[in-house]
Structure 1
Amino acid sequence: MAAGAAVRKAAPVLEAPPQHEQISHTKLSADDEWNLQQETMYKTHRGHESMHVEMILIFLCTLVIAQIALVQWRQRHGRSYNLVTLLQMWVVPLYFTIKLYWWRFLSMWGMFSVITSYILFRATRKPLSGRTPRLVYKWFLLIYRLSYAFGVVGYLAIVFTMCGFNLFFKIKARDSMDFGIVSLFYGLYYGIMGRDFAEICSDYMASTIGFYSVSGMPMRSLSDNVCAVCGQKILVELDEEGLIENTYQLSCSHVFHEFCIRGWCIVGKKQTCPYCKEKVDLKRMISNPWERTHFLYGQILDWLRYLVAWQPVVIGIVQGINYSLGLE
């Protein structure tokens, strides 16, 4: 009995090898999860340097060809180019919004679409109501100024975050940067949408009123005390200070409501007189340097339209070419 007990004591105890705990992604911080994804991607694409060079060349060639094709399309068929671009700008973000569950953007997109659709409906009716032109320009000027403000706030938030000013307010860099990027995106997106819809509405309204024709002579004669944009009488003289708005006279001697001609030139992107089609001197009309930045901001929106509307299409074409060639 004692010998058996001694043997049992001397027998080695076999221990199971230590089990490595599985790392749960739910326990990782956002930075650790990002680093883990980057490490996994690096291991997956290791040794594909020549393939990546081919993909970069394909992307650059496609980008150049697409740019040339879009420029030619815009010069030869500007109306169809603008309509297709506007349709893409309006519909494509809806797909990504629903797919990524961006409900805040979806709610704002829905409100903008409903109100703009109503404004577009009012602008295309015949006969045109006398209140419609001012309603249209008020709405799009409001969108224009709000988008401008959002763009400036977003840009300043990004700059302040990069300079570290967010630490004075005890705001995390990630939160302040996200706020800046989202605000800048809202400003650029709705600024582009508002300008394009304003141009469509201005063409319809001016042609319906009869003082403006895209390709021919005006169908009605313009009186001295009538605004050619909205068709309403001008009650404020040129040398008088109006309570709400003043009266503007262009270099061609035609007079307009201040609100109407600013909406025609700045929001609707029109560079000619609504009646005689003489080129408008915007530097003379917009004398306030702070207001002149609005026109420069409109030019920036035109430059960024390609990046917002057509860049996803170019990337999709590049991905299709890479997939057909077996490049990863």
Structure 2
Amino acid sequence: MDLHRPVDPNKTYEELTSEEKLRYDHQKLHEMHKGHESMHTTMVMILIVTLVVAQLIVMEWKKRHYRSYAFFTMVAMWSIPVLMSVKNQWWRFITIWSIFTMLTAVVIRKSTNRPMSVTTPRLVYKWFYLIYKVSCFLGVVGYILMMLTFLGVNLLFGQKPQQWMDVALMLLFYGLYFGVLGRDVAEYCTDKMAASIGYYTQEGMPTRQLDSNVCAVCGNQLLVNVNEEGVLENTYKLTCGHVFHEFCIRGWCIVGKKQTCPYCKEKVDLKRMFTNPWDRPHILYGQLLDWIRWLVAWQPLILFLAQGINWLFGLE
């Protein structure tokens, strides 16, 4: 399609075909911005400088005040997409987001209740681990569907590429978004539960002495006697010598984004913990989600800031 081919001036906009409307809009856009090359260069420079400076500020904030950074990021992740969806009337996302929010709110409330039930840590980790696995599944399916579309497999089923690509992008977005949000909320709940149990603190020494038969993540006994109430599960011993329920320490590291011992804060060797090749993709996927957080939570704010700077300088 030649976008520069003139449109019949005798026709009204309503009489134009879809192709002619596209050419007309394209030409009008060029006329509007004609002679503004220097202004556009300035706007691009403002955007680049804003991106670089904002990145440095965010990194420094994360390093110096991680808790406030994490909380603000979680709020931004939770609110920005739904506000954009309300504006654009994307009701499917709003519905799924509302269901996720209501269920997660129940889990958050349980994790912050005092006194906390002994079953709460496992409930929290089960919920967020489920979210994590579902998000991983959706992301993988979306990626595979996208690759199949690039290879033209959709033609074998008589489907248009746009249809398959729309579904692939939707699955990728849902998987990555709720994966990131779930990990952020899980980290918040993990800190609250750990502080309540007393074997973990952000700084300083724990407020309780850890018994050799107690899991510092959930506060329950590792080994349960006959006819005694408790959790029967495999255990895992870290290099520091502390032992935990295998499910708890996996939830602590994968879901709660912690890479230190829940008691002594010695760094956890994730490669040693996840010797099964099928488990290692969880680590890589978690790192991918951390990168996606920047795009979803911070990128819109930085672009909005750049737009504000342009407005202050009278650039449009």
Fold-level match, TM-score > 0.5? yes
**Contact 1:236 / 1:246 at 8 angstroms: preserved in 2?**
no
1:292 Cα offset (Å) = 0.7
1:266 aligns with 2:254: yes
Shift of 1:50: 2.1
Cα distance between partner residues in 2 of 1:230 and 1:32: 65
Match of 1:11 in 2: none
**Could you say which residue in structure 2 is the equivalent of 1:42?**
30
Kindly indicate whether the alpha-carbon contact (under 8 Å) linking 1:123 and 1:136 is maintained by their aligned counterparts in 2.
yes
Question: What CA distance in whole angstroms lies between the structure 2 residues aligned with 1:112 and 1:213?
Answer: 29
Alignment partner, residue 4 of structure 1:
none
Aligned to 2:222, which of 218, 225, 234?
Answer: 234
Is the CA contact 2:13–2:21 (under 8 Å) kept in the aligned structure 1? no
CA distance in 2, matches of 1:111, 1:315: 29
**Map 1:42-191 → 2, pairs under 5 A:** 42-191=30-179
Deviations 1:197-233 (A, max 9, x none): 1111111111111222222322323233321111122
Cα distance, 1:235 vs structure 2 = 4.1
Q: Equivalent residue for 1:296? A: 284
With 69-78 and 101-110 compared, the bigger mean Cα shift is at 69-78
Letter in 1 for 2:293: R
Write the letter of the residue equivalent to 1:291: D
Shift of residue 158, structure 1, vs aligned partner: 2.0
The one-letter amino acid paired with 2:90 is: W
The two structures, once aligned, show a CA RMSD in angstroms of 2.3
Structure 2: runs of 5+ lacking an equivalent: 1-8, 226-231
Is the deviation greater in 112-121 or in 37-46? 37-46
What is the number of equivalent residue pairs in this alignment? 303
SS of the residue 1:322 aligns to = helix
For residue 140 of structure 1, report the CA deviation from its aligned partner: 0.4
Task: Name 1:200's counterpart in structure 2.
Answer: 188
Q: Distance in 2 between matches of 1:28 and 1:177?
A: 26
Superposed displacement of residue 154, structure 1 = 1.6
What's the secondary structure of 1:24's corresponding residue?
helix
Q: Which amino acid counterpart does residue 53 of structure 1 have in structure 2?
A: T
How far is the alpha carbon of 1:113 from its aligned partner? 0.8
Q: 1:151 to 1:127 in 2, by over 3 A?
A: same
CA shift at 1:32, angstroms? 6.5
Asked if the contact 1:236–1:247 (Cα under 8 Å) also holds between the matched residues in 2, the reply is no
| Secondary structure, aligned partner of 2:278 | helix
TM-score for both structures, normalised by structure 1: 0.86
Distance, in Å, in 1 between the alignment partners of 2:153 and 2:275 is 34
The residue aligned with 1:24 is 14
User: In 2 relative to 1, CA 325–257 (structure 1 residues): closer, same or farther, beyond 3 Å?
Assistant: same
Letter matched to residue 188 of structure 1: L
Match of 1:9 in 2: none
% identical aligned pairs: 53
Pair 229,327 (structure 1): closer, same or farther in 2 beyond 3 Å: same
Q: What's the counterpart of residue 280 of structure 1? A: 268
Aligned to 2:4: none
Q: Report the equivalent of 1:255.
A: 243
Query: Residues 44 and 259 of structure 1: is their aligned pair in 2 closer, same or farther, counting only changes over 3 Å?
Result: same
- 2:308 aligns with 320
* Structure with greater Cα Rg: 1
What SS does structure 2 have at the residue aligned with 1:248? strand
